[in-house]
Amino acid sequence: MAGRASVVARRAEELLGTPVVATSPVAGGDVSRATKLRLNDGSVALMKTLPHPPAGFFRAEARGLRWLAEAGLPTPALLASADDCVILRWVEPGRPAGDGAVELGRALAAAHQHGCDAFGLAEDGFIGPLPMPNRTALTWPEFYATRRLLPYLKLARDRGGIDDDQARTVEAVVPRLERLLPAEPPSRLHGDLWNGNVLWGSDGRAWVIDPAAYGGHREMDLAMLALFGLPQLERVVDAYTEAHPLSDGWEDRIALHQLFPLLVHAAMFGRSQGYGARAATLAGRYVTTT
Lowest mean pLDDT segment, chosen from 26-30, 99-103, 216-220, 276-280: 26-30
Is 248 known to be catalytic? no
The residue ranges of DSSP E strands in 152-223, in sequence order, are 187-189, 198-200, 206-208, 214-216
Q: Specify whether the backbone of 72 is left (phi greater than 0), alpha (psi in -120 to 50) or beta.
A: left
CB atoms within 10 A of CB 84: 15
Residues 74 and 214 in one domain: no
Instruction: Say if residues 88 and 45 touch (Cβ distance below 8 Å).
Output: yes
Residues 9 and 140 in one domain: no
pTM for this entry? 0.94
Residues 74 and 192 in one domain: no
Residues 103 and 83 in one domain: no
So what's the pLDDT on residue 1?
A: 41
From the list 41, 192, 203, 238, the catalytic residue is 192
Residues 77 and 27 in one domain: yes
Residues 82 and 109 in one domain: no
| Per-residue DSSP letter, 44 | E
pLDDT digits (tens, 9 = 90+) for 45-64: 999 999 889 999 999 999 99
Residues 199 and 119 in one domain: yes
Residues 271 and 190 in one domain: yes
Assign 193 to helix, strand or coil: coil
- Domain housing 271: 98-288
Domains held by the chain: number: 2
pLDDT digits (tens, 9 = 90+) for 59-103: 999 999 999 999 999 999 999 999 999 999 999 999 999 999 999
Residues 154 and 76 in one domain: no
pLDDT digits (tens, 9 = 90+) for 212-239: 999 999 999 999 999 999 999 999 999 9
Query: What's the whole-number average pLDDT of the chain?
Result: 95
Domain boundary (69, 89, 109) is at 89
Domain boundary (42, 64, 89) is at 89
Residues 44 and 185 in one domain: no
Question: At 27, which CATH number?
Answer: 3.30.200.20
Q: CA 130, CA 266: separation in Å to the nearest integer?
A: 12
pLDDT digits (tens, 9 = 90+) for 153-212: 999 999 999 999 999 999 999 999 999 999 999 999 999 999 999 999 999 999 999 999
Residues 78 and 168 in one domain: no
How confident is residue 248, by pLDDT bands cut at 50, 70 and 90?
A: very high
Question: At 139, which CATH number?
Answer: 3.90.1200.10
How confident is residue 31, by pLDDT bands cut at 50, 70 and 90?
A: confident
Assign 90 to helix, strand or coil: coil
Domain boundary (89, 115, 149) is at 89
Q: Which residues contact 126 (CB under 8 A, 6 or more apart)?
A: 54, 56, 57, 60, 61, 132, 212
Q: Which residues are paired to 131 by β-bridges?
A: 126
Q: Answer whether residue 133 shows pLDDT above 90.
A: yes
Q: Answer whether residue 128 shows pLDDT above 70.
A: yes
So what's the pLDDT on residue 6?
A: 85
Residues 255 and 116 in one domain: yes
